[in-house]
Structure 1
Amino acid sequence: MNSLLQQFHQQIRLANRESEGGPGIVRDLDGPVRRRYPVTPGASYAMVESPEGLGDDPDHWIARTAAFFTARGERVEWKTYSYDEPADLGNRLQSNGFQKEDDEALLLGESAALVHGVALPAGVTLREADSPQDYHRIHELMQTIWGPRDGDMTEELRREKEADPTSLDVVLVEQDRETPVLCAAWCRYSPGTDFASMWGGSTLPRWRRKGIYRSTVTWRAQRAIDRGYRYMRLDTSPDSRPILTKLGLQHVAETTPYVHSSPLTRMGD
């Protein structure tokens, strides 16, 4: 494990700060399993991970986790990293009813490496989200690109920002305030650590490869630097990975989600 990955592991994963949350979010431990889930099932996403391994009986903890979220009627993602123990964790999760989703690359590096001047297309502007209407428009963008999802992630972001304005910054790219948002992204901060993290970046297909996503990277990186965060973390898809590695971020590990849906959530899909 390289030194930067080791710092991420210690400061974020072992501290149970994998994905910060705002009001209405529970963060707890069940043995070696670190859990994040909403007080009200379905109000937000549920996620678990096991950064210290699963001990001598991994299947016990996997089955116990599946049973816990099944009883809540809730979909849960088990987030794995390529260095997690046991080495066959992915196979064990699948044997216990979890479904593998697409791999992503974990990128880490200096926030300053991501700050570059980018020219936006004519008539396009970038600004911070500053109203409930902005978050509603971002929700419409996500629905357009990804289809229906559990809960309203953008409403959760709005509540989190409202409860603690220093917890994250949300940026959008648009032509004007009345037309669809072209791209939206956010930067989340982990106080007491060296790390900020970038999320989102979804862009309408016909507006891709025009510097729009790249402009949100620079904006978020500068915000992180201004707030005192030296390092940036991203889970990246194949589309954005080349942009970010060219800027100097390191590809340090793979991260793979495994999803378990209870009978109730499957009936509602």
Structure 2
Amino acid sequence: MTESSRSAQVIELLAAYDEQLRGGSEGGSVPTSLDGPVIRVEYPSRGFVSYRSVEGLDGAELDALIARQRDFFAAKGQAVEWKLRGHDLPADLPERLRAAGFVPEEQETVLVAESADIVERLRGREHVDGVSIRRTEEPADFERIAAMESTVWNDDWSWLADELGRHQASGLADIYVAEVDGQVVSAAWAVYRKETEFTGLWGGSTLAEWRGRGIYKALVAVRAARALELGYKYLHVDASDDSSPILQRLGFVAITTTTPWVFTPAR
């Protein structure tokens, strides 16, 4: 692919991402409210703020908008994440968030690919010798996935079981578990964005002793095939620095970055 063709591809994918995945579509099935150009999403764990664009607000208006989101969730005793994309304007938005007390977390790369392309590239990679990959709707499996994630990250991920249950109850998600002799060694899930062409790919963490065997790629392959089956044109990932190179080698295209800016109220 020539440089100009690749640039045109990025522009096309970024336009689809901005149009379909930002703003109102991010609420899902949880309570939301609007404040001008932003949508507030009231997740159980913490608040979330997104928007298609805040360009055009003058400095004082933008500062007041940021402060209202902070104060809305602080009044509920909740932290709040302002999801900032790398191409967002105005350019001084990070400084304005910092001045309002928000702190940046780890930056991730936004990757997009066409489902059909990934299915073709990963044909035959859906299976790993000795590993069983299956779709699950069982709460007991969600608990086992949460325990596996807690081991991977050396942190308490017990909250994930409830989150996976909410995804399952929405009817807009598929959860996959990878097992070896009954032990959960990896898991991943796909979230289908209603009234869009996008499927979000999440998870993929794998126990250390089982990495490098193709499990991550297999989980991408089965989710891509399922998304294509259901009629979703695009796959979307907010990828860590570990996952991004792997996914780009598989054909995903980096279109922007995303950084969670988080305000945590004093207890």
* Match of residue 6, structure 1, among 15, 20, 45: 15
* Match in the other structure for 2:74: 70
* Match in the other structure for 1:256: 259
Distance 1:7 1:119 in 2: 28
User: Is 1:126 equivalent to 2:127 in the alignment?
Assistant: no
Unmatched segments (≥5 aa) in structure 2: 1-9
* Match of residue 235, structure 2, among 228, 232, 237: 232
Distance 2:194 2:136 in 1: 22
Partner SS state of residue 52, structure 1:
coil
The amino acid across from 2:233 in the alignment is: R
Does structure 2 conserve the Cα–Cα contact (< 8 Å) formed by 1:44 and 1:156? no
TM-score of the superposed pair, with normalisation by structure 2? 0.88
Deviation of 1:37 after TM superposition, in Å, equals 0.9
Distance 1:228 1:120 in 2: 23
The amino acid across from 1:10 in the alignment is: E
The amino acid across from 1:102 in the alignment is: E
**Runs in 1 of length 4+ with deviation above 3 angstroms?**
119-122
Partner SS state of residue 48, structure 1:
strand
Does structure 2 conserve the Cα–Cα contact (< 8 Å) formed by 1:51 and 1:84? no
Does structure 2 conserve the Cα–Cα contact (< 8 Å) formed by 1:44 and 1:153? no
Q: Please, which moves more after superposition, 186-195 or 48-57?
A: 48-57
User: Is 1:97 equivalent to 2:91 in the alignment?
Assistant: no
Distance 2:126 2:222 in 1: 12
The amino acid across from 2:11 in the alignment is: N
Distance 2:36 2:126 in 1: 50
Unmatched segments (≥5 aa) in structure 1: 265-269
What does 1:59-208 correspond to in 2, within 5 Å?
Answer: 59-115=63-119, 116=122, 117-118=124-125, 121-146=128-153, 147-148=155-156, 152-162=159-169, 164-165=170-171, 167-177=172-182, 179=183, 181-208=184-211
Distance 1:157 1:121 in 2: 24
* Match of residue 244, structure 1, among 232, 243, 247: 247
The amino acid across from 2:94 in the alignment is: G
Deviation of 1:119 after TM superposition, in Å, equals 6.7
Distance 2:118 2:232 in 1: 13
Does structure 2 conserve the Cα–Cα contact (< 8 Å) formed by 1:126 and 1:174? yes
Distance 1:107 1:121 in 2: 25
Does structure 1 conserve the Cα–Cα contact (< 8 Å) formed by 2:185 and 2:206? yes
Deviation of 1:129 after TM superposition, in Å, equals 1.8
Deviations 1:29-85 (Å, cap 9, x if unpaired)?
A: 1122211113xxxx3342112321161221111111111111111111111101112
More helix by share: 2
Deviation of 1:247 after TM superposition, in Å, equals 2.0
Partner SS state of residue 263, structure 1:
coil
The amino acid across from 1:46 in the alignment is: G
**Percent identity of equivalent pairs:** 39
Distance change in 2, residues 1:81/1:119 (3 Å): closer
Number of residue-to-residue matches in the alignment: 251
Q: CA RMSD in A?
A: 1.8
Distance 1:48 1:148 in 2: 25
